[in-house]
Amino acid sequence: MSNNESSTDLKARYNELKKSINRASNWRERLDAVEELGESKSRESIELLKYSMTGDAVYKVQEAAFRKLEAFGEEVTMPKRKHGELIKGTNKILLRIKKSLPENHSYEDFKEKVKKMRLDLYDTYEGDKGAEFDAWLKETWATLPTR
């Protein structure tokens, strides 16, 4: 493969990774992109990793980006884990979804509608909460007012 071809391939891969980094409704894809970006140091990979470290809503992705940047020798500070709402207006959004369902709906109905209507929100909290996600969502659902 000539230098031109490899340069073109790298640019295409970088563009794919950039799209993955910006995919709000798939934290696992963003984490995979961070892992791949951390395999080869370049100005572009450092730029995207810094963006992920400071801007991603899921702490696992931020932390992975930090570790990759640190491995590259970049001077970075571990991001602080956010507490409270990761997406502005989460409780209002969840309340609207709950109120849109029939009065006697189940938690599973609610969970499915959240996933269907706001995959970005669902994915962000699922990524952040990990194994505690279902308990958190169920408790939130139970404490939201009805009608």
Quick: pLDDT tens for 111-122.
Answer: 999 999 999 999
More confident call, 4 vs 111:
111
Give residue 1's pLDDT. Answer: 38
Nearest alpha carbon to residue 121 among 81, 84, 86: 86
Do 7 and 67 share a structural domain? yes
State pTM to two decimals.
Answer: 0.82
Q: Is residue 83 part of a domain?
A: no
Do 94 and 62 share a structural domain? no
Q: Is residue 136 part of a domain?
A: yes
Residue 28's domain comprises 3-71
Do 94 and 67 share a structural domain? no
Q: Is residue 120 part of a domain?
A: yes
Do 66 and 20 share a structural domain? yes
Task: Tell the residue number behind the tokens 């990793």, with chain if given.
Answer: 49
Among 71, 106, 124, identify where a domain stops: 71
Residue type, 61: V
Q: How many domains does the chain have?
A: 2
Do 58 and 112 share a structural domain? no
Asked if residue 19 has pLDDT above 50, the reply is: yes
Asked if residue 83 has pLDDT above 90, the reply is: no
CA distance 56 to 50: 10
